[in-house]
Amino acid sequence: MTADKVVFILCAFLIVSSALMVVTTRKLIHAALWLVAALFGVAILFVLLQAAFLAVVQVVVYIGAIAILFIFAVMLTRREMLDKGTQTRSSWWLPALIGALILGGLVLMIASQPDFARTATTIPAGVDTLRNLGTALVSPNEYVLPFEVASILMLAALIGAVYVASSDKK
Amino acid sequence: MDFLNDPINFIANWMRGLLTGWGLADGLATVIIYIVGIVVLILFAMTLDIFLVWVERKVVARFQDRLGPNRIGPFGIIQPFADIIKLIIKEDITPLGADKLLYNIGPVLAIASVIILWAILPLSSRIFGVDLNVGVLYLVAAGALGTLSIIIGGWASNNKYALLGAFRMVANMVSYEIPMVVVLLVPSILANSMSVQGITQAQSGIWFALLSPLAMLIFLVSAIAELGRSPFDLNEAESEIVAGFHIEYTGMKFGLFYAGELLHAFTFGGFLAVLFFGGYGGFFGLEKIGFFSWLNNPFVQMVVFLAKAMLGYWVIMWIKYSMPRIRIDHMLEFNWKFLTPLALVVLVNTAILSKLLENLPAWGYNLGMFFSNILIAIITIGILRRYGRKQRQLQAKLHPASLANKEQAV
């Protein structure tokens, strides 16, 4: 077993167990912090795949902005947000079954792909992945349209947020 | 390859020879060498941190016309060790109703978020942790973890002042991250690289502080805000919320927050040097002349870097001990209505000019960049002056002040 595999298994264990803790823990703020741990695990996965840019963006956007907003919102609540009742319903087996089926289906589908057993190729030393990503995002033959559409969507969301938050509405 | 020109690789190769000579596998030897390297780097940072306590206390004393610690050792240099012993033997108190686990994670995360920055800090061209091609973004990501540590510490203390401090920290960080990210793109554009080594090497001719002085100033302000130092120390404002997020922490747990803050300030002094003042190099081409080739020695570079970082740290201290704390609404207004738009203007200006002036000789490019920045600064000051005059006229027209405020709202 190579070192990469060991790190991957540890990291996968971290992600899955933290994700489980997000839904099972009774304190809301702990759930938010377990979410941070899970997102951090995903960043490690990106590092393993030699996608340093995505790893750092994962930390900046998901942990630095989204998770912190979650935690902030939770902290603003008055009580400790403790969940006291039972955490499962009587019909818990049905979603569990559906979830297991979907997971099994997905695993089967991915396993049947021809590239399933392929290991990640190492990026040759001279290639600047960051520069390639940047040019791909703005070159007309590649992703400029989705990129610009996403920008316009975000601009619309920004204007909408400003409108909703502005106090002098009639 | 000898020790003086490439110390890290020299030691690593020597250790690799030693370990494989003992019969260890090559992969395992690499892991061990990396771990040793990480531990040595952290120990270097932490040892430096001990002396930063002394530097900080001595400098603040001079700013405030006092003597500072001067009893133990020459110039009081042993004082930090006495402080450490005191911090360690103090009683460790966990407040009633605190979230024990999170309460203990807080200070650890606070210092960890600073130490991971040292991974990319280029001490010299041959002495550094790792050269990431996204180094500049890594700086921002590490800042996010720092915020998290303060939120966790403030919330887990089960204290209203601590929670208020944490709230203020979030408002502070979430807003000042934006001009910082925007302005970090300016050196990236100028150097055509996001790696800190690349940015340092691009400044061997001229410092980016001279190409874009406005970007340097905005980075300095947002760095101070991110550090939570005065005038942005709302998260621990003594006169309002006692000690803010670390109010309940005692002994070495408080010590970790304090040490983290000092090391953070020094590290940002280092990044200021790397991004805008040439880092370990930046001798304006002097090192290419044969007589000055000793400037390329990694140890000389390290001394130069540490001196520049210390100077940046000194500026941060200078501002901290001469500025009063600003009010929270002023802080947010300053960020959103002044710093963020200015940072965006500087970024757009740099991006356009770097393409327009691309084919010019170096002096034309440099002068164009510099004077465009000066022009932006003059326009900004003009706008601020007009705005200030309007505000003063409003205040002068209406009395009492409550009426003036009402007028403003309309």
Query: pLDDT of chain A along its 170 residues, tens only?
Result: 677 788 889 999 999 999 998 888 877 888 888 888 899 899 888 888 888 888 888 888 888 888 888 887 877 776 565 667 777 778 888 988 999 999 999 999 988 888 777 776 777 777 777 888 888 888 888 888 999 999 999 999 999 988 888 876 55
Question: Closest residue of A to B97, CA-based?
Answer: A80
Burial class of residue B284, CB neighbours in 10 A (0-12, 13-18, 19+): middle
What's the pLDDT score for residue B103?
A: 87
- A54 CB within 8 Å of a chain B CB: no
Report the Cα–Cα distance between both ends of chain A, in Å, rounded: 66
B174 vs A33: CB contact, 8 Å cut-off?
A: no
Work out the average pLDDT over B115-140.
85
Question: Closest residue of A to B131, CA-based?
Answer: A52
Which of B133, B143, B167 is the closest to A52 by Cβ? B133
What's the pLDDT score for residue B406?
A: 60
**What does the alpha-carbon distance between residue A142 and residue B138 come to, in Å, rounded to a whole number?**
27
Q: Which residues of B touch A71 (CB under 8 A)?
A: 148, 151, 155
Mutation choice for A interface testing from B28, B100, B148 by most A CBs within 10 A:
B148
Q: At what angle do helices B251-276 and B26-63 cross, to 10 degrees?
A: 90
What's the pLDDT score for residue B20?
A: 81
What's the pLDDT score for residue B405?
A: 61
Q: At what angle do helices B100-115 and B26-63 cross, to 10 degrees?
A: 90
- H/E/C letters for each residue in A43-108? HHHHHHCCCHHHHHHHHHHHHHHHHHHHHHHHHHCCCCCECCCCCCCCCCHHHHHHHHHHHHHHHH
Which of B137, B148, B170 is the closest to A57 by Cβ? B137
How does DSSP classify residue A27?
Answer: B
Largest CA distance in chain A: 66
**What does the alpha-carbon distance between residue A166 and residue B410 come to, in Å, rounded to a whole number?**
14
Q: In chain B, pLDDT over 90 holds for what percent of residues?
A: 10
Residue B410 has pLDDT above 60, yes or no: no
**What does the alpha-carbon distance between residue B18 and residue A166 come to, in Å, rounded to a whole number?**
67
What's the pLDDT score for residue B403?
A: 61
What's the pLDDT score for residue B409?
A: 54
Place of tokens 């000579």: B21
**What does the alpha-carbon distance between residue B228 and residue B222 come to, in Å, rounded to a whole number?**
10
Residue B128 has pLDDT above 70, yes or no: yes
A56 vs B137: CB contact, 8 Å cut-off?
A: yes
Query: One-letter amino acid identity for B315?
Result: V
* Residue-level length of chain B: 410
Which of B99, B134, B152 is the closest to A130 by Cβ? B134
Residue B191 has pLDDT above 60, yes or no: yes
Work out the average pLDDT over B381-401.
82
Minimum mean pLDDT range among B185-194, B242-251, B324-333, B366-375: B242-251
Residues 147-166 of A with CB under 8 A from B: none
Question: Closest residue of B to A3, CA-based?
Answer: B27
What's the pLDDT score for residue B408?
A: 57
**What does the alpha-carbon distance between residue A7 and residue A24 come to, in Å, rounded to a whole number?**
25
Q: In chain B, pLDDT over 70 holds for what percent of residues?
A: 97
What's the pLDDT score for residue B82?
A: 86
Q: Which residues of A touch B167 (CB under 8 A)?
A: 72, 75
Minimum mean pLDDT range among A143-147, B7-11, B160-164, B208-212: B7-11
What's the pLDDT score for residue A164?
A: 86
Token code pair at residue B394:
């409003």
* pLDDT tens digit sequence for B57-99: 888 888 888 888 888 878 878 888 888 888 889 888 888 877 7
Question: Closest residue of A to B162, CA-based?
Answer: A75
**What does the alpha-carbon distance between residue B342 and residue B214 come to, in Å, rounded to a whole number?**
9
Q: Which residues of A touch B152 (CB under 8 A)?
A: 33
What's the pLDDT score for residue B401?
A: 60
What's the pLDDT score for residue A13?
A: 92
B348 band by pLDDT with thresholds 50, 70 and 90: very high
What's the pLDDT score for residue B365?
A: 82
Which of B134, B148, B177 is the closest to A52 by Cβ? B134
Work out the average pLDDT over B385-407.
74
Alpha-carbon distance A112 to nearest alpha carbon in chain B (angstroms) = 33
Token code pair at residue B366:
């440099």
pTM of the model: 0.85
Work out the average pLDDT over B248-269.
87
Place of tokens 């340093």: A52
CB pairs A-B closer than 8 Å? 67
